[in-house]
Chain A
C-alpha cells in the first residue's frame, strides 16, 4: 500500500535527477536507517542524492561501507572521536569558542556564516583532528561548500572539492608530521591485526573534513539567528546554562544540518510500504522526519526544553554520526558563552534559505545573515 504521507516518489521532472523514493516520515526513515541489509551504504559517492562532485577515487570510510566490514572499522576509529567527552578537550573548545565570541562582540558587524561559523568550525576541527590550530587558516580558504555534494555545484565548488582531496592526500602521505593527529593515528591503527590501506586512511580523513563542515556551520549560524530573533531564548540560557543541553538537541532537530542523504537497494525491498526495485535509490529526509507531527508536537515550534526529543539529526543505527560528541560540545559551548556575554544581537540583514526541494525544511537556516552583536 502506498502511503503518501510516508513516502513520496519523485519523477525525473520534479527532482531533476532521477526517480528517487524519498523517506519523509520519522518511522519509515528510522526503520530504513537501521535496515542496512535492504538499504545499503556500500557505494562510492552515491550516498548523496546528486553525486556530481565525486573527485575522489577512494571511498569515504566508514560512511560508504555496510556491516560487517563497517562494524570493525568503526569500532577501531571510535575512541579517537570520543575524545570530546573528556574535560581537557572541553576546555580547549571553550577557549576557541571564547575567542570567536570576542570577535563577534567587538567587530562593527559580522557576516555570520563566513565571519563566525566557518572560522569557528575550522578552529574546533583542529582540536578534533589534533592538528595545529594554524592549519585552520588554510581550511577556511576552502569556503563553505567544500563537500559540493549537498548543493548543486558550479566550477568554483569543484575546485574546492579538489583542494580537499589534495590536502588529505598530502597529509595522509606524511602522517608523522603532526604526532597524535588523526593522520598519525590512522597510520598506526590496525583492524583485526592489519594496518589500514592508504585508501582507507584517505577515506576517513576526507569525511572528517567534509562531513563536519557545512553541518556544524549551519548549526552555529542557527544559534546566532535564534538569539538575535528571540532575546528571551538567550536570557533563558543565561539564567540556566543547563538548558543548553536540551536546546542543542532542539536546534539540531529544527535546523537538521544534514537534511538529505541517499541509500541504494541492491536487492529491492519494502520502503515505508512502497515496493522498490533492485537498484532503486532512496532519499533519506532527516530534516522532514524531524518535523513529523506524529512524533513531535508543534513540529515547527522551537521549544528549548523539548523532552523527549528523539530527533534523527545525527541519523540512527550503524552510521549514526561519528562526530556527534564534538558537534554537540561545540554547540552547547557557543549557546552558553554567547548567552552569558552578548547583551544584544541585532540583525542587519537576513536572507532565510528558501524551501526549494521536497526534502527541505525551513527555520533558522540562512543564505546570508549579518548581525551587530554587543
Chain B
C-alpha cells in the first residue's frame, strides 16, 4: 500500500495509506484542510486542487485537458497542478507528498 503525504497551506503534514481509490478520497479520510472533494471526482468543483513536486510528475502523470479546463483560472494554477480526484493511488506513488493548493 502506498503511503502519501499532504502538506496543507500552513505546512501541516498529514499522512496515510490506501490501496486504490484517489488521492482526494484519501485526503477526505485524513481530514486534510483545503481538500473538499465536493463533486466526488466528477471534475466539476476544483476543490481538490494539489501541486505535484516536479520530480514526481512522470509518475503521477500531468493534468489532463479536462483538469486544466477546470483549474486554469484557479488561484495557484501552474504546471504542477492536478485535481487530486484524478490521481489514482498505486504503489508507484509510495512516498509522494502533495501540496494542497487552497487554504
Interface residues of A (CB under 8 A from B): 30, 34, 82, 85, 242, 245-246, 248-249, 252, 295, 306-311, 316-317, 324-325, 328
Q: Which residues of B contact A317 (CB under 8 A)?
A: 73
Closest to B83 in A: A308
Q: Is the CB of A245 within 8 A of B73?
A: no
Q: Is the CB of A249 within 8 A of B44?
A: yes
Q: Which stretch from B5-13, B35-43, B51-59 is at the chain A interface?
A: B35-43
Q: A353 to B102: give the CA distance in the assembly, Å.
A: 39
Number of interface residues of B (CB under 8 A): 14
**Could you write out 16 A-B pairs with CB less than 8 Å apart?**
A82-B36, A242-B40, A252-B44, A307-B42, A307-B43, A308-B42, A308-B67, A309-B43, A310-B43, A310-B44, A310-B66, A310-B70, A311-B44, A317-B73, A324-B45, A325-B36
A206 to chain B, nearest CB (A): 25
Q: Which residues of B contact A309 (CB under 8 A)?
A: 39, 42-44
Closest to B86 in A: A308
5 cross-chain pairs, A with B, having the tightest CB-CB distances, nearest first: A245-B40, A308-B43, A308-B66, A34-B73, A249-B44
Q: A245 to B28: give the CA distance in the assembly, Å.
A: 15
Contacting B41 at CB < 8 Å: which of A30, A85, A245, A316?
A: A245
Q: Is the CB of B38 within 8 A of A308?
A: no
Q: A308 to B86: give the CA distance in the assembly, Å.
A: 10
Q: Which residues of A contact B41 (CB under 8 A)?
A: 245-246, 307
Closest to B85 in A: A307
Q: Which residues of B contact A242 (CB under 8 A)?
A: 40
Q: Is the CB of B39 within 8 A of A246?
A: yes
B74 to chain A, nearest CB (A): 9
Interface residues of B (CB under 8 A from A): 36, 38-45, 66-67, 69-70, 73
B1 to chain A, nearest CB (A): 22
Q: Which residues of A contact B73 (CB under 8 A)?
A: 30, 34, 316-317
Q: Is the CB of A249 within 8 A of B36?
A: no
A245-B41, A245-B42, A249-B44 known; A308-B36 Cβ under 8 A: no
Q: Is the CB of A308 within 8 A of B40?
A: no
Q: A148 to B42: give the CA distance in the assembly, Å.
A: 33
Most central of B42, B44, B70 by chain A CB within 10 Å:
B44
Contacts A82-B36, A308-B43 known; 20 new A-B pairs at CB < 8 A: A85-B36, A242-B40, A245-B42, A246-B39, A246-B41, A246-B42, A249-B39, A252-B44, A306-B42, A307-B42, A308-B66, A308-B67, A308-B69, A308-B70, A310-B44, A310-B69, A316-B73, A325-B36, A325-B38, A328-B39
Q: A295 to B38: give the CA distance in the assembly, Å.
A: 21
Q: A248 to B45: give the CA distance in the assembly, Å.
A: 12
B33 to chain A, nearest CB (A): 11
Q: A325 to B40: give the CA distance in the assembly, Å.
A: 12
Q: A26 to B49: give the CA distance in the assembly, Å.
A: 22
A44 to chain B, nearest CB (A): 26
B87 to chain A, nearest CB (A): 15
A292 to chain B, nearest CB (A): 12
Q: A324 to B42: give the CA distance in the assembly, Å.
A: 15
Q: Which residues of B contact A310 (CB under 8 A)?
A: 43-44, 66, 69-70
Q: A324 to B39: give the CA distance in the assembly, Å.
A: 10
